[in-house]
Amino acid sequence: MSVREGSLEAPTRHPVAWKTPDFWNELLLEAELERIFDICHGCRRCVSLCNAFPTLFDLIDESSTGEIDGVAKSDYAKVVDQCYLCDVCYLTKCPYVPPHPWNLDFPHVMLRAKAIQFKKGSPTEFRDGVLSSTDRNGKLATIPVVVEIVNKVNHMPAFRKQLENHLGVDAQAWVPEFARKPFLPNAKVSAPHPVIDGGRTKGKVAVYSTCYINYNEPGIGHDLLKVLDHNKIPYQVVQKVACCGMPKLELGDLDAVEELKNKNIPPLAALARDGWTIVTPIPSCTLMFKQELPLLFPEDQDVQAVKQAMRDPFEYLVNRQKDGLLKTDYSVELGKVSYHVACHLRVQNVGQKTREMLASVPGTQVHTVERCSGHAGTWGVKKEFHQTSLKIGRPAFRQLTEHPGGSPDWIASDCQLAGRHIEEGLGDKAKDKIAHPLTLMARAYGL
Ligand code: SF4
Ligand code: SF4
């Protein structure tokens, strides 16, 4: 068979065969890691994407043979630990992804290694379990009085040092505040607008709010509802749902991912079958339903139904605009917006819909930055990775300040966690400038 380099054909993502015994076989995993690491060594395109590739190439270059056979198998985990499953290497760089016969899926081999590591247990498992239980943390922290205490101590250097020493959460890293009033119980009920379907869009929207919007920044959720209401799109906020499972996936805890899937998918599939478009305001959660769960549970028809109904909010809004069903009665110019495209949105392959939407607001100049922010969910707050996460984010931080029109009025990322990481990286330069694109849309409408 001839081996042709290039990605002219659309990549085919194969399901993750995690229910088979081979998936969990460590010798088979080691052989697969050796195979793909050797291909990457000969290619090296991804060297600037994250710290996984430089770690791999340093191990090879410093080995006795200068080849992958000189690297101890026990060092492979050092590469795996640096991967936060952003998927960017697979979807934007790699010419050897399927259908190429080399069948290279770097992130999914990292996921397999993480899953095997997770099953075996690790010294950081308690910390990792706490950080990835976003739903449970939110429920605890938003109990009245507790929320005040949690927010206060999170700003106390002595407490943060203790947290770093005992839990491994970097004392300098930004950690989210908890909202006094979570989103779900306070979301406004939709007005009884008529359902108007367009050629590209369904006329009613179900909002899967996400843990972060529910417990940390509910204002973004309220802004989404305002934008929908202003455009006379009837909506409902899905109430009985849990975390999407992305933080557990990043840990390799696939059983927890399945548990969460079993909670979320039945109500979401019922909505999908009833003709609702489902949107989530955090790209990682959207990606979980669009890509990761369908690949983990390829036979589950409910999962596939949710995948078909799931949209990024700006993907929906731009298509609504193309249907001629979105208002353009903007009353506020946004000025200079530096816009960061989150990795988990880039890999959804929907184009730059947020940029398109913001740029359609009169008096708005959008400067787009596609570099990784380095935050990567819970990865960037861990003590052992925090400095690396800032280093990875540095080119993005710098480029976001370089709006061609001068100092930006706003810095916006589809992923608000990335936005807050950018805020940490830029310090005073980002003061009062970080705003989610949905908040900017609500502002542009004067809502
Ligand atoms: S998935 Fe992201 S973090 Fe992992 S190796 Fe690829 S680019 Fe790096
Ligand atoms: S993942 Fe693909 S593009 Fe990236 S270094 Fe490896 S072979 Fe090259």
Average pLDDT over residues 159-163: 75
**Shortest-distance atom of ligand 1 to CA 107:** 1
Alpha-carbon radius of gyration of the chain: 22
What letter would DSSP give residue 215? I
What letter would DSSP give residue 382? B
- Confidence check: pLDDT of 266 > 90: yes
* Predicted pLDDT at 5: 46
**Averaged pLDDT score across all residues of the chain:** 89
Tell me which fold the domain 329-444 belongs to: Rossmann fold (3.40.50)
- Confidence check: pLDDT of 23 > 50: yes
Give the tens place of pLDDT for each residue, 199-219. Answer: 999 999 999 998 889 988 999
Q: How far apart are CA 374 and CA 351, in angstroms?
A: 21
Q: Which two tokens stand for residue 416?
A: 């608000």
Q: Is residue 96 lining ligand 2, measured as CB closer than 6 Å? A: yes
Give the tens place of pLDDT for each residue, 172-183. Answer: 777 777 888 999
**CATH 3.40.50, domain 183-319, yes or no:** yes
Give the tens place of pLDDT for each residue, 367-418. Answer: 999 988 877 667 777 777 888 888 888 899 999 999 999 999 999 999 998 8
CA 38–ligand 2 middle distance (angstroms):
10
* Predicted pLDDT at 110: 96
Q: How far apart are CA 269 and CA 310, in angstroms?
A: 10
* Most ligand 1 atoms within 8 A of CB, residue of 93, 110, 375 to mutate: 110
* Most ligand 2 atoms within 8 A of CB, residue of 37, 46, 88 to mutate: 46
* Predicted pLDDT at 2: 41
Neighbouring residues of 292: CB distance < 8 A, sequence distance ≥ 6: 245, 246, 249, 257
Minimal-distance CA residue to ligand 1 atom 7: 89
* Predicted pLDDT at 220: 97
* Predicted pLDDT at 178: 81
Which DSSP helix (H) or strand (E) runs through 399?
Answer: helix 386-401
